[in-house]
Structure 1
Amino acid sequence: MSDVGALGDPALEDALTGLARRRTVLVASDLDGALAEFTRDPADTVPAPGAMLALRGLARLPGTSVAVVSGRDAATLAELTGVRPGDPVALVGSHGAESSVAGVTAQRLDDGQRALLDELTTTVAELIERHRGARLERKRAAVAVHTRGLSDDAEQAALEEAVGLGEGRDDVRVLRGKSVVELSVSHADKGSALLALARVVGAESVFYSGDDVTDEDAFRVLPAADGHVTVKVGDGGTAAEHRVPSVGALVVVVRRLLALRSDLAPGAR
């Protein structure tokens, strides 16, 4: 795996150049921690300057599809990114359970799953009362406990209790991230969603970037040997082929891909 600060990595430059020459590509990224800095309150998230502009620029190029892929529900994701109907950037929410792209089927919850989600939400609300400063986020198919801003001990206690609510249950998927635990009644994952989206848009190769544990599902199914480019943002073990140190560095990478694709994409000139 190669590491890059801003864009000084020949291996990543070569990978982006190869991707830019492909006939059809899908460029996708996680939002929080990748295209946007973390905030104490998840509702305050704002994409980094230039991030959405670069993605929209890519989406307007021939043979180039673009998506923001997130654990956020689709409605919240649209609000945070400013993506509206008719926007060239697609949205994939709830770890792949929701998609704005026709032909990529969203997973519908049955009555049992909806009842289970209500039950989990009530239980998590009680947990939040016991751990002051922790925050609850209700999603379409999950409920999350956010602990950013808590002391280390308080954060660990809240997250461990949240994990315990779903651990050992076949009907609940526990997703651990940075200062968050999500209890999902859906078994959708970002890797499966990206492969489905790539098939629908006819992409030969995929670029994907992300910072968290759930992004590893995508990294694992997008090997460099098949022409894909994967970028991990920040520290930690990863299956991604490349790494950048920060959100700002990822924006530089996306802008570089836009420049390369504008020059090298078949039919771009």
Structure 2
Amino acid sequence: MAVDPASENDPDLDPALAAAVDRLAAAPALLIALDFDGTLAPEVDDPAAARALPAAHAALLALHALPATTVALVSGRSLESLAAVGGMPDEVPLVGSHGLEVRLRPDDVRPAATPQDAERVRLLRLRLEPLVSAVPGAWIEQKPAGFAVHTRRVEGAEAAASLIDAVRAEAAAHDAGLTVRDGKNVVEFAARDATKGDGLRVLRAELGSPAVLFAGDDVTDEDALGVLVEGDLGIKVGAAPTVAAHRVADPRAMARVLERLRDARRESAATTR
């Protein structure tokens, strides 16, 4: 949906979204599950350097401290990478590798790969590495049950698109049973199929079916937005097509959503004591 003119009460938020945030804040139990890159953190060339905007990080920490409120990160990154850049307390649930990895608690981690998975991934990477290394700026990100070919730093859209086409064709010829996912400036190959929607379902079930806020910016976030139900709130970050009912422009605007949710949920908690 298009972003409407800002309201007088909150000039940074679309009035319909502000009202939806306020309604969600009154839920008896709430899960705030968020994509990281492009949603909380601006996109950067070096994934290890990504960090959530300070305002977003502060709002999430405050929400995490509220009663009956769970904050979680849901990402295509591996759990190891997500934990490193996320900056959240250890008890915050994490979903990595597009739902293949789930860490409900530090002592409850659900692994993504079997030895057979790892071998399939290793053999495919050997086939694709020469193609990737031949394109300046392209690189491979290893994950527990797969890997991603990144083209963000490749100079020229045509060169990036040609590489994506080449690695997809080589992967299909070598192992047609692999799961292939496209994202912004990336294509990912995985030995097992899972989505962010699967990860979100696991979180909801483990937490006893709370109301959910999910926000994300990429194609793969549509899988999570698509499993939301009545009473939940889905937000698309950016201008890409979406099934979400609401949209914000960028991570800065998403941080403002989280600040409003923090304030409204604090007020709701105070009035129900």
Q: Check conservation: 2:32, 2:71, Cα contact below 8 A.
A: yes
Q: C-alpha separation between the residues in 2 aligned to 1:28 and 1:66?
A: 6
Distance change in 2, residues 1:106/1:25 (3 Å):
same
Q: C-alpha separation between the residues in 2 aligned to 1:21 and 1:180?
A: 38
Cα drift, residue 124 of structure 1: 2.7
1:81 matched to which residue of 2?
86
Cα drift, residue 138 of structure 1: 0.3
2:129 matched to which residue of 1?
125
Show structure 2 runs of 5+ residues with no match.
Answer: none
Q: Check conservation: 1:104, 1:197, Cα contact below 8 A.
A: no
Q: C-alpha separation between the residues in 2 aligned to 1:179 and 1:204?
A: 34
Distance change in 2, residues 1:216/1:167 (3 Å):
farther
1:192 matched to which residue of 2?
198
Distance change in 2, residues 1:76/1:268 (3 Å):
farther
Q: Sequence identity, in percent? A: 36
1:92 matched to which residue of 2?
95
Cα drift, residue 267 of structure 1: 7.1
Q: C-alpha separation between the residues in 2 aligned to 1:165 and 1:261?
A: 50
Cα drift, residue 136 of structure 1: 0.9
Distance change in 2, residues 1:170/1:104 (3 Å):
farther
Candidates 198, 210, 225, aligned match of 1:219: 225
The question of 1:3 aligning with 2:7 is answered no
Q: Check conservation: 2:61, 2:88, Cα contact below 8 A.
A: no
Show structure 1 runs of 5+ residues with no match.
Answer: none
Render the CA deviation track for 1:142-187: whole Å, top value 9, x for unaligned: 2111111321111111122232244485531111011011111121
Report the RMSD for the aligned CA atoms in angstroms: 2.1
Render the CA deviation track for 1:15-72: whole Å, top value 9, x for unaligned: 1111111100100110111111111122221211222221111111111011011010
Cα drift, residue 106 of structure 1: 2.2
Instruction: Provide the TM-score with structure 2 as the length reference.
Output: 0.90
Candidates 157, 182, 191, aligned match of 2:188: 182
Q: Check conservation: 1:141, 1:186, Cα contact below 8 A.
A: yes
Q: What letter corresponds to residue 48 of structure 1 in structure 2?
A: L
Candidates 242, 250, 254, aligned match of 1:250: 254
Q: Looking at both structures, which has the greater relative contact order when contacts are Cα pairs under 8 Å and sequence separation is at least 6?
A: 1
Task: Tell me the matched-pair count.
Answer: 265
Instruction: Provide the TM-score with structure 1 as the length reference.
Output: 0.91
Q: C-alpha separation between the residues in 2 aligned to 1:124 and 1:63?
A: 46
